[in-house]
A and B are shown apart, each in its own frame.
Chain A
Amino acid sequence: MNYKIIFNIIAFLLILTGLLMLPGIAFSIYYGHNDIVSILYSSLITVISGLIIYFFTKNADKHQLGKREGYLIVTLGWIVISTFGSIPFLIHGSIPSVTDAFFETMSGFTTTGASILNDIEKLPAGLLFWRSMTQWIGGMGIIVLSLAIMPLLGIGGMQLFSAEVPGITKDKFHPRVKETAKRLWGIYVILTAAETVLLMIGGLTFFDAVNHSLTTMATGGFSTKNASTAHFDNPFVQYVFIIFMFAAGMNFALHYFLLYWKFDVFKKNSEFKFYLSFIITSTLIIMFIHRPHHTFSLEESFRQTLFHVTSLVTTTGYVSSDYENWAPFSRIIFFILLFMGGCAGSTGGGIKFSRHSLLLKNSLLELKRLIHPRAIIPVRFNDKAVSQEIISNVQAFFIIYILIFVFGAALLSITGLDFFTAIGASATCLGNVGPGLGVVGPVGNFSSLPDFSKWILSFFMLVGRLELFTVLILFSPSFWKK
């Protein structure tokens, strides 16, 4: 294991994180809030720590970056940036407990959006901006950002890229990883800017518009308001959110092709078709069965349902009403949506549509295989036969995902959470969604949970964001063997 390069890259991540803390100061100055000094200090601590490590590891052998180093850099890197990222909250004192600050930052970077803050609006503007910024960085990924701007990472970069970017197969738009990373971040910035403009047209202040755009595009879900997006009770704004949540849950490769007016890729993309039809069908079904319980107009029924289905499926986690109590049966329905996830190559978390699609196809083909036991019937995806290894990998992913969810729910209920809170918290953190059920449901938050539960959930968020294997592989003995 080439530890020197590992620390070298992590140091670079730290410097980057520290610098990204600074833009929030502009808002603090504008609004005259008291968090300028604490943000400055935190930024200095982070950058200097990064510089020191960087200095001591600057002669690292940059050509020795294998798979193992890749996994270790990504996992360790995420833990380190979450630790340093929580310093602004701690120094300022708005989140005094280390557990809470770490949970909030991890929830930010992993784009979960689960919060322990009871009164979000009390936070100064600079900290609120940093909170949204963590989601934006985590959405496209800090490693991908580093790959785009750090010249040295050209070699071995692909290992890092595939360890951080979600999905089974990683599309490359360009043979060079650096160019791919640049293009991804380019699209990400454009979409974020577009949403900011549209939200401002809808009547949001520049500050609110930027914050919400950062968290929408990251499928994060942090809001600057206590009532989340329900604060902006305006159909136009809600439709803007719906559209951009949907865009954030799409494979960014598709956006890239869209920029070049290549529409036929949408037709060929099985995952996109599944994603789109799933959202539409489940919205219609949920709207239809809830209609007798709703008091509002048909348009609002449709909008509210579409909003929540999109928000949960893409793992954003914005809420605009207490959907859990729409009807006595809403709980399980919305709970199941927590397991969907966006498309591969999106900023969404969860299991992802391509995996669901492959598994479902494989299960149904099993019926065909029973009738024709000797025929070899492969699963087809995007008109190509999928190899047995990929199916096996997806199956393993799904089983481990469910296993962690179940194990987590049991562990959380032993720490004292009730049944629905436990299963909701476990599912929502693993899927990087945000709101769960019961105490941690759409109108609740995570502040009342025991500290031990918060640490477990922080770990779950990380495991979910890095798609299980990148983290779990570090616990496998064969990883450490020479």
Chain B
Amino acid sequence: MNYKFVFHILGFLLTLTGLLMFSGIPFSIYYNDKDIISILSSGLITSLTGFVVWFFTRKNLEMEIGKRESYLIVTAGWFIMSVFGSLPFIISGWLPSIADAFFETVSGFTTTGATIIKDVEALPHGLLFWRSMTHWIGGMGIIVLSIAILPLLGIGGMQLFQAEVAGPSKDKLHPRVQETAKRLWAIYVLFTLAETILLMFGGMNLFDSLCHSFGTLASGGFSTKNQSIAFYNSPYIEYVVIVFMFIAGTNFTLHYYALKGNILNYIKDSEFRFYGTLVVLLVVFTSAYLTWNNNINLESSFRQSAFSYISILSSTGFATVDYQLWGPFFTEIFLILLLFGACAGSTSGGVKMVRYQLLLKNSLLELKRLVHPNAIIPVRQNGKSIQPDIIAKISGFVLLYLFIFGLGSVTLNIIGLDSTSAMGAVAACLANIGPGLDSTGPVTNYSSVPDLGKWILSFIMILGRLEIFSVLVLFSPSFWKR
């Protein structure tokens, strides 16, 4: 293991995190809040620690890194970042408990959006901005950002890129990984700016629109208001958020080609069609149900259902209504959707559409294979046949995912959450969504979860964000063997 290189990169990540903390200070000054000093000192502590580590590991650096080093960098990097990222909350005294501050920061970086803060609006602006910023950094990924700006990572970058970016197969936009990372971040910045401007048209001020755009594009879900998006009570704003949540749940590769003029690429992509069809079906049935059964007018039921479904599927977690009150079976439907996730290569979490799609295809083909036992019938996606080892990998993933979901629910249940809340919380944190069910549902928050539960959920969020394997591989004995 090339530990020197691992620390060198971790030092760089910390420096970057520290510098990004300063970005909230202009808002603190503008709104005349008292959090300037705590943010400044946290930023300094973080960036200086990072710089020192980076500086002392700089000499005689071997540039060779393998798979092991990349998994270690990504997992350790995310943990360390979350520890230092919680400093502003602790130093300013707004979240005095370490468990709370760590949970909130992990929830930010992993773009979960589960919060333990009961009164969000009381927080000073600099802290609120940092809270949304953690989303934005975590959404596209700090490693991807580092690859984009650090030429040093050009060599082993692909390994690191794969360990952080979500999805079973990673599309490359450019043969050079640095260029791919640059393009991804550029699209990300572009969409964030577009949403900010559109939200400002809807009457939001610059601060709120920036924070909400960060939360949307990262598919995070932190809001600056206690009532989340419902605060604005504006259909226009809700539609803007709906559109951008959907965008955040789409493979960014497709956006790249669309921006270059290839709009048809969306329709050609089988996963996107699956995602789109599922959203349309759910919205059509639910808005019909809400209109007939709950006497809500058609436009409003369309908007409510589109918002809720896209928010959950894209793993954003913004809420405008309590969907558990729609009807008796919506708890089930949302529990199922909590295990979904949107497209690979997006900023969303969860299992992802493409995995389900491939497993579903493989399962149905199994029936065909039973009838024709000697035929070799491969799974096809986007006109290409998929290797059996990829299918094996995906089902390994789904099985571990369900296993962690089951184990986590039982553990939280024993710690003291009721059954539905426990299942909802674990599903929502593992998929980086945010709101779960009942006492952790859309209209409540995670403040009532016991401290031990918060630590477990924090770990589960990181597991989910790094798609399980990148973290679990560190627990495998063969990882540490020479």
| B473 / chain A contacts, CB cutoff of 8 Å | 367, 370-371
Q: Which of B17-25, B237-245, B248-256, B360-368 lies at the interface with chain A?
A: B360-368
Give a binary string over A347-375; 1 marks a CB under 8 Å from any B CB, 0 the rest: 00000000000011011111111111100
Cβ contact within 8 Å between A478 and B478: no
Give a binary string over A75-86; 1 marks a CB under 8 Å from any B CB, 0 the rest: 000000000000
| A362 / chain B contacts, CB cutoff of 8 Å | 392, 395-396, 399
| B178 / chain A contacts, CB cutoff of 8 Å | none
Give a binary string over A277-298; 1 marks a CB under 8 Å from any B CB, 0 the rest: 0000000000001000000000
- Within 342-401 of A, Cβ neighbours of B (below 8 Å) are at 359-360, 362-373, 388-389, 391-393, 395-400
List 16 additional A-B contacts (Cβ < 8 Å) besides A363-B396, A371-B478, A476-B371.
A67-B373, A331-B413, A332-B409, A332-B422, A364-B476, A371-B476, A371-B479, A372-B478, A388-B392, A392-B392, A397-B366, A410-B332, A410-B336, A423-B332, A469-B367, A476-B368
Cα separation A413 to B331 with both chains bound (whole Å): 10
Q: Which chain B residue lies CB-closest to A406? A: B336
Q: Which of A3-11, A115-123, A204-212, A414-422 lies at the interface with chain B?
A: A414-422
Pick from B67, B397, B423: contact of A332, CB below 8 A. B423
Cβ contact within 8 Å between B478 and A367: yes
| Known contacts A398-B395, A476-B371; is-contact A336 B328 (Cβ 8 Å) | no
Interface residues on B, range: 35 or more
Cβ contact within 8 Å between A469 and B370: yes
Cβ contact within 8 Å between A68 and B371: yes
Q: Which chain B residue lies CB-closest to A414? A: B329
Q: Which chain B residue lies CB-closest to A290? A: B414
In the assembled complex, the CB of B427 is this many whole angstroms from the nearest CB of chain A, namely 12
For chain A, the count of residues having a C-beta within 8 Å of the partner chain is 53
| Known contacts A363-B400, A416-B328; is-contact A329 B419 (Cβ 8 Å) | yes
**Residue B359 interfacial (CB < 8 Å):** yes
A-B contact pairs, 30 of them (CB 8 A): A67-B370, A332-B419, A332-B423, A336-B410, A359-B395, A362-B396, A363-B395, A363-B397, A364-B476, A366-B392, A366-B396, A367-B472, A370-B469, A370-B473, A371-B473, A392-B362, A392-B388, A392-B392, A395-B359, A395-B391, A396-B362, A399-B360, A400-B363, A402-B402, A410-B332, A413-B328, A469-B370, A473-B370, A478-B368, A479-B367
Cα separation A422 to B395 with both chains bound (whole Å): 26
Cα separation A369 to B418 with both chains bound (whole Å): 38
Pick from A371, A402, A418, A472: contact of B328, CB below 8 A. A418
In the assembled complex, the CB of A352 is this many whole angstroms from the nearest CB of chain B, namely 15
**Residue B182 interfacial (CB < 8 Å):** no
Cβ contact within 8 Å between A422 and B332: yes
| B71 / chain A contacts, CB cutoff of 8 Å | 370
Q: Which chain B residue lies CB-closest to A472? A: B367
Cβ contact within 8 Å between A419 and B331: yes
Cβ contact within 8 Å between B371 and A419: no
User: Which of the listed residues B362, B391, B414, B418 has the most CB atoms from chain A within 10 Å of its own CB?
Assistant: B414
| A184 / chain B contacts, CB cutoff of 8 Å | none
Measured CB to CB, the residues of A under 8 A from B are 67-68, 289, 328-329, 331-333, 336, 359-360, 362-373, 388-389, 391-393, 395-400, 402-403, 406, 409-410, 413-414, 416, 418-420, 422-423, 469, 472-473, 476, 478-479
Cα separation A164 to B16 with both chains bound (whole Å): 62
User: Which of the listed residues B367, B400, B410, B472 has the most CB atoms from chain A within 10 Å of its own CB?
Assistant: B367
Cα separation A396 to B394 with both chains bound (whole Å): 12
User: Which of the listed residues B71, B363, B371, B422 has the most CB atoms from chain A within 10 Å of its own CB?
Assistant: B363
User: Which of the listed residues B331, B332, B362, B414 has the most CB atoms from chain A within 10 Å of its own CB?
Assistant: B332
| A363 / chain B contacts, CB cutoff of 8 Å | 395-397, 399-400, 403
| B397 / chain A contacts, CB cutoff of 8 Å | 363, 366
| B273 / chain A contacts, CB cutoff of 8 Å | none
Q: Which chain A residue lies CB-closest to B420? A: A419
Cβ contact within 8 Å between A329 and B413: yes
**Residue B406 interfacial (CB < 8 Å):** yes
In the assembled complex, the CB of A439 is this many whole angstroms from the nearest CB of chain B, namely 13
Cα separation A95 to B297 with both chains bound (whole Å): 46
| Known contacts A367-B478, A371-B68, A399-B359; is-contact A329 B395 (Cβ 8 Å) | no
Pick from A67, A332, A393, A469: contact of B413, CB below 8 A. A332
| Known contacts A329-B414, A336-B410, A419-B420; is-contact A392 B399 (Cβ 8 Å) | no
Cα separation A395 to B469 with both chains bound (whole Å): 18
In the assembled complex, the CB of A338 is this many whole angstroms from the nearest CB of chain B, namely 12
**Residue B398 interfacial (CB < 8 Å):** yes
**Residue B372 interfacial (CB < 8 Å):** yes
Cα separation A325 to B92 with both chains bound (whole Å): 45
Pick from B328, B333, B366: contact of A392, CB below 8 A. B366
Cα separation A139 to B441 with both chains bound (whole Å): 44
Pick from B331, B360, B388, B478: contact of A368, CB below 8 A. B478
**Residue B176 interfacial (CB < 8 Å):** no
Cβ contact within 8 Å between A391 and B479: no
Cα separation A419 to B421 with both chains bound (whole Å): 13
- Within 358-388 of B, Cβ neighbours of A (below 8 Å) are at 359-360, 362-373, 388
**Residue B172 interfacial (CB < 8 Å):** no
| A414 / chain B contacts, CB cutoff of 8 Å | 329
**Residue B393 interfacial (CB < 8 Å):** yes
Cβ contact within 8 Å between B469 and A367: yes
Pick from A366, A413, A469: contact of B329, CB below 8 A. A413
| B388 / chain A contacts, CB cutoff of 8 Å | 388, 392
User: Which of the listed residues A367, A371, A388, A420 has the most CB atoms from chain B within 10 Å of its own CB?
Assistant: A367
Cβ contact within 8 Å between A396 and B478: no
In the assembled complex, the CB of A54 is this many whole angstroms from the nearest CB of chain B, namely 28
| Known contacts A67-B371, A396-B366; is-contact A366 B359 (Cβ 8 Å) | no
| Known contacts A396-B362, A473-B370; is-contact A369 B329 (Cβ 8 Å) | no
In the assembled complex, the CB of B381 is this many whole angstroms from the nearest CB of chain A, namely 16
| B359 / chain A contacts, CB cutoff of 8 Å | 395, 399
| B423 / chain A contacts, CB cutoff of 8 Å | 332
